[in-house]
């Protein structure tokens, strides 16, 4: 099928679906629900985390919706969006047949990551999700933002709302369910990456191990163009090549994958480069799965 604009018939809302061009009946598929950050939309998220470029190689089905609430800035809200997100999951499990879904991961950038964290407290998602990839969207355990994270604020609305009761990227809650967890962040949007992980401790994992760096010679696809010329390294500059450090916490009970990824010299909004995008997908696909199968 490739890429389509699908329809949630219960709400009338559309969302992107990307799948392999050469779909074969009965073949295993890996499902990703990808959520944008506050102030953004599904089209931006699709370019920020361009998993669709690897849908053939890793047999991916990627659903990328947009939040409904637009005022004061677009963001995910439980009362406005959670039913829609459940409908998307049911649509994917129905269209592609749940017996063909090998695994289901939540992926979220910024407020989309914090929304993923909240959704894991919902039994519907807790029973189905095999993993969560937080793209600058909260880490389970302490993480400290730099003081200038939301600066400057002069010229344009941000890709994540400021102030109010909107969750900031930073510390996520500890969901009461089992899943793999990858935290990926720009180097400049945190004071320092902690050397320990409460999620790793929960599963008795060993001390973190540094894996080979991922070196990209090509830039990502997108950035916060509204702040071009007056942004900061913490918020993010223009896309450019880079290097990412990858850490894993080995030997977790149940084989769950627990990892931290730091994109050096990057901030909150530079789109992910091709090789680190693929490495994250490779890690996700190799992680334990089976919740979708258990629902057959």
Yes or no: say if 86 and 128 are a contact pair by the CB < 8 Å rule: no
Cα distance between residue 97 and residue 91, in whole Å: 9
Q: What is the dihedral of CA 142, 143, 144, 145, to 10 degrees?
A: -150
Count how many Cα atoms sit within 13 Å of the Cα of residue 254 in the half-sphere of its side chain: 21
The mean pLDDT values, 10 residues at a time, for the chain of 296 residues are 86 96 82 96 97 97 96 90 98 93 96 96 97 96 75 44 45 92 96 94 97 98 91 93 98 96 97 98 93 57
Strand partners, 260: 183, 247
Residue 111's nearest CA partner among 71, 72, 132, 138 is 138
Would you state the structure tokens that stand for residue 209, as one six-digit string? 């191990």
CA distances from 60 to 28, 106, 126, 226 (A): 9, 13, 21, 31
pLDDT of residue 294: 57
Structural domains in the chain plus CATH codes:
3-294 (3.40.50)
Pairing outcome for strands 171-172 and 139-140: parallel
Q: How far apart are CA 284 and CA 106, in angstroms?
A: 10
Give the per-residue pLDDT at 95. 94
- How many beta carbons lie within 10 A of that of residue 86, not counting itself? 17
Q: What is the C-alpha separation between 295 and 46, in angstroms, rounded?
A: 28
pTM score of the predicted model: 0.92
Q: Report the pLDDT value the prediction gives residue 171, as an integer from 0 to 100.
A: 78
């Amino acid at each position: 099928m490739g890429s389509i604009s699908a329809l949630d018939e219960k709400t009338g809302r559309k969302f992107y679906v990307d799948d392999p061009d050469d779909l074969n009946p009965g073949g295993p598929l890996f499902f990703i629900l990808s959520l944008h950050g506050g102030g953004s939309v599904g089209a931006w998220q699709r370019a920020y985390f361009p998993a669709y470029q690897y849908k053939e190689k890793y047999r991916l089905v990627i659903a990328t919706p947009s939040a409904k609430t637009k005022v004061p800035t677009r963001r995910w809200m439980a009362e406005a969006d959670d039913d829609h997100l459940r409908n998307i999951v049911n649509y994917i499990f129905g269209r592609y047949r749940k017996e063909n879904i090998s695994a289901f991961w939540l992926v979220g950038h910024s407020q989309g990551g914090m929304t993923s964290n909240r959704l894991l407290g919902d039994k519907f998602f807790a029973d189905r999700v095999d993993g969560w990839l937080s793209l600058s969207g909260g880490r389970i355990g302490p993480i400290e933002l730099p003081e200038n994270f939301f600066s400057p604020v002069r010229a344009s609305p941000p890709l994540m709302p400021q102030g109010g009761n909107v969750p900031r990227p930073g510390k996520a809650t500890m969901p009461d369910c089992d899943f793999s967890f990858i935290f990926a962040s720009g180097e400049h949007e945190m004071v320092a990456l902690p050397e320990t992980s409460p999620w790793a401790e929960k599963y008795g994992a060993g001390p973190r191990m540094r894996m080979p760096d991922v070196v990209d010679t090509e830039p990502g696809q997108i950035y916060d163009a509204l702040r071009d010329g007056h942004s900061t390294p913490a918020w993010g500059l223009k896309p450019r090549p880079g290097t990412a450090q990858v850490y894993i916490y080995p030997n977790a009970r149940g084989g769950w994958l627990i990892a931290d990824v730091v994109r050096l010299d990057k901030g909150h909004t530079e789109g992910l480069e091709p090789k680190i995008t693929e490495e994250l997908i490779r890690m996700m696909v190799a992680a334990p799965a089976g919740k979708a199968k258990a629902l057959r």
